[in-house]
Amino acid sequence: MEASEEDQQLRRPFRVLSLDGGGMRGIYTAAFLGRLTDQFARIRGESALDLGRGFDLITGTSTGAIVGCALAVGRPMTEIVGLYREHGPKIFPHRIAGKRSAIYRATQGSRFVREGDKVVSLLVV
Protein backbone atom coordinates (compact mmCIF):
# COMPACT_ATOMS: atom_id res chain seq x y z
CA MET A 1 0.00 0.00 0.00
CA GLU A 2 1.42 3.38 -1.01
CA ALA A 3 1.62 6.24 1.43
CA SER A 4 -0.54 9.22 0.58
CA GLU A 5 1.06 12.53 -0.35
CA GLU A 6 -0.02 13.96 3.01
CA ASP A 7 1.73 11.11 4.86
CA GLN A 8 4.90 11.72 2.84
CA GLN A 9 4.79 15.42 3.73
CA LEU A 10 4.51 14.56 7.42
CA ARG A 11 7.54 12.25 7.27
CA ARG A 12 9.74 14.66 5.33
CA PRO A 13 12.26 16.45 7.56
CA PHE A 14 11.65 20.14 8.24
CA ARG A 15 14.67 21.95 6.81
CA VAL A 16 15.86 25.13 8.52
CA LEU A 17 18.67 27.45 7.47
CA SER A 18 19.84 29.80 10.20
CA LEU A 19 22.29 32.57 9.35
CA ASP A 20 24.18 34.55 11.95
CA GLY A 21 24.82 38.27 12.11
CA GLY A 22 28.11 40.08 12.07
CA GLY A 23 27.75 43.21 9.99
CA MET A 24 29.99 43.36 6.96
CA ARG A 25 30.99 39.73 7.53
CA GLY A 26 27.69 38.84 5.83
CA ILE A 27 29.65 39.07 2.61
CA TYR A 28 31.43 35.84 3.65
CA THR A 29 28.11 34.08 4.22
CA ALA A 30 26.76 35.20 0.84
CA ALA A 31 29.98 34.29 -0.98
CA PHE A 32 30.13 30.85 0.67
CA LEU A 33 26.50 30.07 -0.13
CA GLY A 34 27.00 31.29 -3.68
CA ARG A 35 30.00 29.02 -4.24
CA LEU A 36 28.24 26.08 -2.63
CA THR A 37 25.20 26.59 -4.86
CA ASP A 38 27.37 26.94 -7.97
CA GLN A 39 29.19 23.72 -7.13
CA PHE A 40 25.97 21.75 -6.69
CA ALA A 41 24.58 23.23 -9.90
CA ARG A 42 27.65 22.04 -11.80
CA ILE A 43 27.41 18.57 -10.24
CA ARG A 44 23.75 18.34 -11.25
CA GLY A 45 24.44 19.75 -14.72
CA GLU A 46 22.14 22.73 -14.17
CA SER A 47 22.82 26.37 -14.89
CA ALA A 48 21.71 27.57 -11.44
CA LEU A 49 20.02 26.39 -8.26
CA ASP A 50 17.63 28.31 -6.04
CA LEU A 51 19.02 27.56 -2.58
CA GLY A 52 16.07 29.19 -0.83
CA ARG A 53 13.67 26.60 -2.25
CA GLY A 54 15.59 23.86 -0.45
CA PHE A 55 14.48 25.06 2.99
CA ASP A 56 11.16 25.22 4.79
CA LEU A 57 12.32 28.05 7.03
CA ILE A 58 15.13 30.58 6.59
CA THR A 59 16.03 32.71 9.58
CA GLY A 60 18.79 35.17 10.31
CA THR A 61 20.02 37.74 12.76
CA SER A 62 20.99 41.18 11.51
CA THR A 63 23.11 40.73 8.40
CA GLY A 64 22.06 37.07 8.32
CA ALA A 65 18.48 38.29 7.88
CA ILE A 66 19.55 40.32 4.84
CA VAL A 67 21.13 37.25 3.24
CA GLY A 68 18.16 35.10 4.33
CA CYS A 69 15.65 37.49 2.75
CA ALA A 70 17.61 37.43 -0.49
CA LEU A 71 17.55 33.62 -0.47
CA ALA A 72 13.82 33.58 0.27
CA VAL A 73 13.03 35.71 -2.78
CA GLY A 74 15.44 33.78 -5.03
CA ARG A 75 18.18 36.35 -5.50
CA PRO A 76 21.55 34.97 -6.59
CA MET A 77 24.23 35.26 -3.94
CA THR A 78 26.63 36.92 -6.40
CA GLU A 79 24.19 39.83 -6.49
CA ILE A 80 24.19 40.01 -2.68
CA VAL A 81 27.98 39.96 -2.54
CA GLY A 82 27.89 42.89 -4.98
CA LEU A 83 25.45 44.77 -2.74
CA TYR A 84 27.73 44.26 0.27
CA ARG A 85 30.73 45.48 -1.71
CA GLU A 86 28.92 48.55 -3.00
CA HIS A 87 26.83 49.53 0.04
CA GLY A 88 28.43 47.66 2.96
CA PRO A 89 30.89 50.34 4.06
CA LYS A 90 28.05 52.88 4.32
CA ILE A 91 25.81 50.53 6.29
CA PHE A 92 28.40 48.84 8.51
CA PRO A 93 30.93 51.52 9.48
CA HIS A 94 34.17 50.77 11.24
CA ARG A 95 33.50 50.54 14.97
CA ILE A 96 35.09 53.01 17.33
CA ALA A 97 36.19 51.46 20.63
CA GLY A 98 35.18 52.65 24.07
CA LYS A 99 32.75 55.35 25.20
CA ARG A 100 33.16 57.28 21.97
CA SER A 101 31.60 54.36 20.15
CA ALA A 102 28.35 54.52 22.13
CA ILE A 103 28.08 58.29 21.66
CA TYR A 104 28.79 57.99 17.94
CA ARG A 105 26.19 55.24 17.45
CA ALA A 106 23.60 57.16 19.48
CA THR A 107 24.00 60.29 17.36
CA GLN A 108 24.69 58.75 13.95
CA GLY A 109 23.00 55.34 14.17
CA SER A 110 19.80 56.31 12.40
CA ARG A 111 21.80 57.30 9.33
CA PHE A 112 23.10 53.73 9.03
CA VAL A 113 19.61 52.31 9.49
CA ARG A 114 18.42 54.46 6.56
CA GLU A 115 21.32 53.20 4.40
CA GLY A 116 20.42 49.63 5.33
CA ASP A 117 16.77 50.21 4.46
CA LYS A 118 17.80 51.43 1.00
CA VAL A 119 19.78 48.26 0.31
CA VAL A 120 17.07 45.92 1.59
CA SER A 121 14.60 47.70 -0.70
CA LEU A 122 16.90 46.78 -3.61
CA LEU A 123 16.44 43.10 -2.73
CA VAL A 124 12.67 43.11 -3.09
CA VAL A 125 12.40 45.18 -6.27
DSSP string, 56-86: SEEEESTHHHHHHHHHHTT--HHHHHHHHHH
Q: Are residues 26 and 20 in contact, defined by beta-carbon separation less than 8 angstroms?
A: no
Secondary structure class of 18 (helix, strand, coil):
strand
pLDDT of residue 119: 61
Indicate the SS3 state at residue 47. Answer: coil
Q: What pLDDT sits at residue 120?
A: 60
pLDDT digits (tens, 9 = 90+) for 93-119: 766 566 666 666 666 666 655 666 666
- 39 pLDDT band, cuts 50/70/90, is very high
Are 67 and 80 in contact by the 8 Å Cβ rule? The answer is: yes
Q: Is residue 14 left, alpha or beta, with left meaning phi > 0 and alpha meaning psi from -120 to 50?
A: beta
Instruction: Specify the pTM.
Output: 0.68
